[in-house]
Amino acid sequence: MRLNKFIAGCGVCSRREADKLIEEGRVSINGEIAGFGALVLDGDTVLVDGKEISLQEEKIVIAYYKPVGVTCTEKDKFAQKTVIEDLGFEKRVTYAGRLDKESEGLLLMTNDGDLINAMMRGASGHEKEYEVTVDKEVTADFIRAMSGGIYLKELDKKTRPCKVKKTGKYSFDIVLTQGLNRQIRRMCDALGFSVKKLKRIRVMSVRLEDYNLKPGEHIVLTKEEVKKLCKDAGL
C-alpha cells in the first residue's frame, strides 16, 4: 500500500496532509525516513512523529460541534486548544474538512482515510451549509453577487455559483460545493461586508440540528448514517 494511503487509513489525516508529513521528514518505515512513493508491506513498522500507527479496522464517524476558539489542526504548539484535545475521543480520528478558529458548528471526525479523501475531493461538489451573520444589512444585490460567484483576488480564483438565502436583516444561509480557505469570509470581504458569526449546520447528509449538540459535544454516527454518507461520497 502506498504510504500516504496507509497513513490516511490509520486515521491520522487525509492523503494530501499525509504527503506534507512525508515531505517534512516526520514519517519513517522500519527506522528509515520515508520518501514520496514509498510502499508499506506486511510487517513494516510505520512511525509518525515517533509514534507507531496501524490500520484501523472499525470505521468510526463522529459528528462534533466545534466551538469558537478551537483550532482545526493535529498538532500546533501555538494553538490554545486543538480539535483533537477538545474532542477527547479515545480512538485516533481526524477532521474531514476544516473550520477556521473563529467559526463554529458541525465538523465530521473519522478514522476512515478513504472517506476523508472522497469528501474533500472538490470536483465531487459535496454540499456544506452555513448560517452567517454580517455587519451590514443583507440586500438583494448582495445575495445576487454571492450566489453568482465572486472573484477572490488573493487566491486568484472565482468561487462557484452557490445557493444563498436571506434569513434576517443581517443574516443569510449559504450552501457551498467547494472549500477554499476562509471562503465565506473572503467572499463577504470582497463585497465590503464583515462576518460576525459563522456556523456550519450541515455536511452532505449530516445535519447538526438532528443531534441537539452543544458546543464541544459529539455523537458517533450509526452504521446506517455512515453507510449513507459513504454512498453519497461515492464509496
Annotate 65-80 with b (16+ C-beta within 10 A) or e (fewer). Answer: bbbeebbbebeeeeee
Strands (E), 30-93: 32-33, 46-48, 51-53, 61-66
Residue percentage of the chain with pLDDT more than 90: 60
Identify the CATH number of the domain defined by range 61-122+209-232.
3.30.70.580
Whether 203 shows a pLDDT value over 70: the answer reads yes
Strands 46-48, 27-29: pairing is: antiparallel
Give the tens place of pLDDT for each residue, 46-91: 999 998 988 766 788 999 999 999 988 866 666 678 888 888 888 8
Q: Are 72 and 100 in contact (CB under 8 A)?
A: yes
Give the tens place of pLDDT for each residue, 149-198: 999 999 999 999 999 999 999 999 999 998 888 999 999 999 999 999 99
Per domain, the residue ranges of the chain are 3-53, 61-122+209-232, 127-203
| Sign, Cα dihedral of 121, 216, 208, 10 | positive
Identify the CATH number of the domain defined by range 3-53.
3.10.290.10
Please give the backbone phi and psi of residue 203, each rounded to the nearest 5 degrees, phi first: -130, 110
Strands 163-168, 171-176: pairing is: antiparallel
Q: What per-residue confidence (pLDDT) applies to 197?
A: 97
Q: What per-residue confidence (pLDDT) applies to 185?
A: 96
CA angle 63, 66, 70 (to 5 degrees): 145
**CA end-to-end span of the chain:** 18
Choose, from 19, 44, 100, 173, the residue flagged as catalytic: 100
Give the tens place of pLDDT for each residue, 27-54: 999 999 999 889 999 889 999 999 898 8
Please give the backbone phi and psi of residue 152, each rounded to the nearest 5 degrees, phi first: -105, 105
In this prediction, residue 220 has a pLDDT band, given cuts at 50, 70 and 90, of: very high
Among the CATH numbers 3.30.70.1560, 3.20.20.150, 3.40.50.2020, 3.40.50.300, which is that of 127-203?
3.30.70.1560
The grid coordinates of residue 50 equal 515517533
Give the tens place of pLDDT for each residue, 97-156: 889 999 999 999 998 888 888 887 766 788 999 999 999 999 999 999 999 999 999 999
Question: What residues pair up with 151 in beta bridges, in sequence order?
Answer: 158
DSSP state of 74: S
Q: What per-residue confidence (pLDDT) applies to 129?
A: 97
**Is 189 tagged catalytic?**
no
CB atoms within 10 A of CB 170: 16
157, with CB counted inside 10 A (0-12, 13-18, 19+), is: middle
Q: Do 61-122+209-232 and 127-203 have matching folds?
A: yes
Prediction pTM value: 0.76
Q: What per-residue confidence (pLDDT) applies to 149?
A: 94
Q: Are 92 and 60 in contact (CB under 8 A)?
A: no
Q: What per-residue confidence (pLDDT) applies to 77?
A: 64
